[in-house]
């Protein structure tokens, strides 16, 4: 069984001094995914930065889970719009060159 790119939820919670119930709430709301191997819960290493952001929102900024969902959705929309602007900008530059 491969756990190379997995972080134990219990280790993450201990390191960040947070409750496992917070992680479970994030999973229940579809913000992260947890993988269960041999009755131990893991998160994928590529989710750690996003999870740390959620920890900051919840514990430092006092944003509830529903608020985190909203903020995440808005940040994703902003990122998509920025990508679209960059694409249009590049197309405009290409058009001006020709």
CATH number at 23 reads 1.10.1660.10
> DSSP string of 5-51?
TEEEHHHHHHHHT--HHHHHHHHHTTSS-EEEETTEEEEEGGGHHHH
- CA 22 to CA 13: how far, in whole Å? 9
4 pLDDT band (50/70/90 cuts)?
A: confident
Residue 80 included in any domain:
yes
Range of the domain at 45: 6-97
pTM here is: 0.83
How many domains does the chain contain in total?
Answer: 1
Residue 1 included in any domain:
no
Is residue 3 scored above 90 in pLDDT? no
Residue 81 included in any domain:
yes
pLDDT digits (tens, 9 = 90+) for 22-43: 999 999 999 999 999 999 999 9
Q: Running DSSP on this structure, what letter comes out for residue 45?
A: G
Q: What is the pLDDT of residue 43?
A: 96
Q: Running DSSP on this structure, what letter comes out for residue 32?
A: S
- Please, how many CA atoms are within 13 Å of residue 73, restricted to the half-sphere of its CB? 8
Q: What is the pLDDT of residue 6?
A: 94
Question: Average pLDDT of 82-91?
Answer: 97
């Amino acid at each position: 069984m491969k756990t190379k790119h997995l972080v134990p939820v219990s280790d993450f919670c201990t390191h960040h001094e947070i409750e496992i119930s917070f992680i479970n709430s994030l999973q229940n709301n579809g913000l992260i995914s947890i993988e269960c191997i041999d009755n131990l819960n893991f998160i994928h290493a590529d989710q750690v930065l996003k999870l740390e952001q959620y920890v900051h929102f919840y514990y430092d900024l006092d944003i509830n889970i529903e608020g985190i969902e909203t903020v995440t959705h808005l940040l994703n929309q902003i990122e998509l719009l920025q990508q679209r602007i960059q694409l249009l900008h590049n197309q405009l530059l290409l058009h001006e060159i020709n």
